[in-house]
């Protein structure tokens, strides 16, 4: 089975749109999302425009705040402070990567945890790892929703995650632990990657290496979630060699059209949750 991330994301957006429409009628208020974009790094520009377009489509008041590459850290911090205090702003997102003069940690820490739609603030990271209510990073949240579409109960499943980034691998591990999976996280220093992956009932690849996972790395009838987005010539491919793996897996996400659309849908979901919590 090929997991249709576009279709799942459209269902989520539809639900959000209806909820926002009724919030507007009941309370005459809608969620607001402020996205800070620094510089003109082409992929960031595409991501941010996509986020804005999707936000507007579901009725979120979205704004992009743009700065040139030479902006100071102080100016960004003061903008974040202003957005933290603004009642019409439910969520704040600072698009990464940042220019060298700006300290990513300081910026993430400055966003109010209740407005941290990316789920990167240490309070949200800590809440997630403690098993408490947290704002969860959008990509792993999207992956979990796709996995749960295939398998309702994940209890006792062996999940293997390739990659240990704060953005993907680590929160994915926390989410799957919460679902009572046995979780193995592998990375660039892992001794025998293939052997570890072969044990996975659920394999999540969040690496950034084109077609790394081959057919003989995966267990028959496993669920394969491919987070990777890699350019190969003029094509976009994932971290999983889709053609060779798709007939062995029970279910697999394609690239593009798998995890990507879910990431944006989960950003909208997080923005709505932040609005409601505030
Ligand atoms: P990252 O921060 O670069 O982390 C990559 C992880 O993979 C690291 O933990 C690294 O290990 C590990 N790794 C690298 N090469 C490896 C290898 N040959 N064997 C085993 N492990 C290896 O990347 P990221 O931000 O998590 O992103 C991962 C991929 O997901 C990228 O392709 C990115 O573009 C994509 N992405 C997609 C979405 C989406 O919406 N679909 C969202 C975000 C990111 P070490 O820790 O040991 O260095």
Per-residue confidence (pLDDT) for residue 106, from 0 to 100:
98
Which tokens belong to 163? 């990659």
Least confident of 39-43, 173-177, 266-270: 39-43
- CATH numbers and ranges of domains, the chain: 28-112 (3.40.50.10860), 138-260 (3.40.50.720)
Per-residue confidence (pLDDT) for residue 193, from 0 to 100:
98
Dist CA 190 CA 194 (whole Å)? 10
Per-residue confidence (pLDDT) for residue 210, from 0 to 100:
98
Q: How far is the CA of 83 from the centre of ligand 1 (A)?
A: 31
Render pLDDT for 36-55 as a digit per residue (tens, 0 to 9).
999 999 999 999 999 999 99
Tally helices (H) and strands (E) across the chain: 10, 10
Residue nearest (by alpha carbon) to ligand 1 atom 39: 260
Per-residue confidence (pLDDT) for residue 179, from 0 to 100:
98
Which tokens belong to 48? 């941010």
Q: Is 211 in the pocket of ligand 1 (CB under 6 A)?
A: no
> Directed axis angle between helix 138-150 and helix 5-27, to 10°?
110
Per-residue confidence (pLDDT) for residue 108, from 0 to 100:
98
Q: Is 139 in the pocket of ligand 1 (CB under 6 A)?
A: yes
Please tell me whether residue 178 adopts helix, strand or coil conformation. Answer: helix
Residue nearest (by alpha carbon) to ligand 1 atom 40: 260
Render pLDDT for 60-72 as a digit per residue (tens, 0 to 9).
999 999 999 999 9
Task: Give the number of the atom of ligand 1 that is nearest the alpha carbon of residue 239.
Answer: 32
Between the two ends of the chain, the Cα-to-Cα distance in Å is 40
Per-residue confidence (pLDDT) for residue 228, from 0 to 100:
98
What residues are paired with 237 via a beta bridge? 230
């Amino acid at each position: 089975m090929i997991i249709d991330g576009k279709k799942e994301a459209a269902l989520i957006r539809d639900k959000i749109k209806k909820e926002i429409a009724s919030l507007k009628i009941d309370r005459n208020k809608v969620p607001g999302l402020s996205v800070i974009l620094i510089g003109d790094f082409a992929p960031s520009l595409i991501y941010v425009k996509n986020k804005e377009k999707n936000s507007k489509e579901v009725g979120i008041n979205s704004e992009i705040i743009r700065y040139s590459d030479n902006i100071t850290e102080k100016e960004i911090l003061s903008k974040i402070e202003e957005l933290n205090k603004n009642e019409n702003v439910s969520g704040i997102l600072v698009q990464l990567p940042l220019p060298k003069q700006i300290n990513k940690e300081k910026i993430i820490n400055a966003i109010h945890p209740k407005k941290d739609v990316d789920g990167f603030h240490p309070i949200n990271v800590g809440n997630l790892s403690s098993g408490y209510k947290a704002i969860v990073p959008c990509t792993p949240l999207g992956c979990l929703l796709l996995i749960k579409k295939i398998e309702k109960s994940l209890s006792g499943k062996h999940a293997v995650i390739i990659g240990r980034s704060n953005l993907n691998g680590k929160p994915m591990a926390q989410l799957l632990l919460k679902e009572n999976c046995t979780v193995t996280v592998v990375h660039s220093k892992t001794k025998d990657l293939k052997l570890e992956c072969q044990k996975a009932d659920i394999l999540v690849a969040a690496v950034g290496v084109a077609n790394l996972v081959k057919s003989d790395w995966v267990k028959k009838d496993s669920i394969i979630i491919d987070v990777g987005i890699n350019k190969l010539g003029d094509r976009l491919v994932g971290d999983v060699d889709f053609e060779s793996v798709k007939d062995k897996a029970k279910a697999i996400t394609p690239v593009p059209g798998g995890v990507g659309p879910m990431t944006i849908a989960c950003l909208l979901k997080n923005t709505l949750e932040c609005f409601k919590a505030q």
